[in-house]
Amino acid sequence: MAAVPGTEPQGATRAPLRWKEGEAMTGGATGHAVSIGDLRELARRRLPRVIYGVLEGASEDERLLALTYERLRAWSLVPRRLRDVSVRTQATELFGRTWSSCFGIAPTGTIGVLRRDIEFHLADAARQANIPIGVSGASARTHEAIAEHAPGQVWSQLYAATDPAITRNLVERAEAFGAGALLWTVDLNIAAKNDRLIRAGFGVPPRLSLGAKVEALRHPGWLLEYLRGGMARLDQWAQYAPADADPMAVHRFYLSQRNACQSWRELELLRKLWKGPLIVKGILHADDAVRAAELGADGVVVSNHGGFGLDHGPAPIDMLPGVVSAAGEKTVVMYEGGILRGSDIVLARCLGARFCFVGRATLYGASAGGATGALRAIDILKDEIDRTIGHLGCPDARDLGPGYVRAPA
């Protein structure tokens, strides 16, 4: 994971001491994980280096990914004393449903290489934890199939396609299976340049070096699963590709439909097509949040797509207060970016985010231990949120606000 030179993201290096021999390979040690950093280490041990790069990589020099972590830690939380925190809650009402906490699972694409049916594992964990799960428009399994694992909890992510008929059908499918919200993603119309994966030969098609293939033999748990199931296909897009398309051809078709010409006109169209909560994901500029609200968006997600896209961009946590101020109370502002601790979620709430999404944190757990590992990641974050609001003297997470935070010097 990219980091400030000489440092690692908070909680990323400490490993549990109770792992038994072989547990790291199978993911059986996730129950011993104390932090998201422990789950990260388990995922690293299970995955071949090139596949782990899919999880950890970002654009170009990965400067933005490092900055995202650095700026989260630059803000301070300021506790208030002598307040009764004997009973605490982090339950959050959002779009007519009460969730057990103030965060959900972020949509992340092309993750089928990390673990077979990983989206099912994530959905199973979301169902058990009663949190929403965003499902990527580039999912290995269809949104309909994933929704069977977490009925009423799937938020469908959408990349508007070059072919408007496909966009319309994707929206119709989301409505048919009962998606809780539509997440229109606007910050990655042009494919990111991931130097790490390019050097490794991980592309479409992959051209892995002999060294990468030999290194994969050191990860038999992942390798056996891959040999049994083969390459994951983007099932969400398979019905639009030619009938005889293999997984690689489906992926190429999907890439051909990535629309670099998206504009505000698409938001107007989506608002007419979709009657449920409509969220614009990938907003960093306050003016864009205002424009999204004017055209009918119910919410926005302040995000830099996990460090993908513009590597010389700003950290989303620094842009959050301005977006909150501009968007107004009627627009639900959410946050995503660099969350590895429950205190990160509390900080975003103090800066005005109504809800947060975590990406890599739950992917570490699911990569290492399937649904059990993903649920462990969720439980760790919930426990840390509970402890943080207790330390702050704010027993109800809904009452968090700017009075509990100090800006960087």
Cα–Cα distance, 257 to 167 (Å, whole number): 10
Q: What are phi and psi of 185, to 5 degrees?
A: -95, 125
Active site residues: 305
pTM recorded for the entire structure: 0.92
Q: What is the pLDDT of residue 232?
A: 87
- 218: tokens are 């050191």
Helix (H) or strand (E) holding 105: strand 103-105
User: Which residue, among 134, 137, 184, has the nearest Cα to 299 in the 3D structure?
Assistant: 184
Helices then strands, counting H and E runs in the chain, come out as: 17, 12
- 406: tokens are 């100090």
Q: What is the pLDDT of residue 20?
A: 47
Q: Which amino acid is at 358?
A: V
Alpha helices, H only, 134-278: 143-147, 164-177, 195-200, 210-216, 220-229, 235-238, 247-256, 264-273
Q: What are phi and psi of 258, to 5 degrees?
A: -65, 120
Q: What are the beta bridge partners of residue 332?
A: 299
Q: What is the pLDDT of residue 5?
A: 31
Residues of the chain with pLDDT under 50: 1-26
Query: Which residue ranges form the domains of the chain, and what is each CATH number?
Result: 25-193+256-399 (3.20.20.70)
Q: What is the pLDDT of residue 27?
A: 53
Residues contacting residue 139 through CB under 8 Å, at least 6 positions apart:
109, 112, 119, 146, 234, 235, 236
Residue with tokens 């992340």: 108
Q: What is the pLDDT of residue 378?
A: 98
Q: Count the alpha carbons within 13 Å of 164 in the hemisphere toward its beta carbon.
A: 8
Beta carbons of 320 and 72 less than 8 angstroms apart: no
Q: What are phi and psi of 405, to 5 degrees?
A: -130, 150
Residues contacting residue 394 through CB under 8 Å, at least 6 positions apart:
80, 83, 85, 400, 404
Cα–Cα distance, 33 to 23 (Å, whole number): 12
Cα–Cα distance, 307 to 360 (Å, whole number): 11
What secondary structure does DSSP assign to 304-322, as a single string?
-GGG-S-TT---HHHHHHH
- Pairing assessment for the beta strands 92-94 and 97-99 based on DSSP bridges: antiparallel
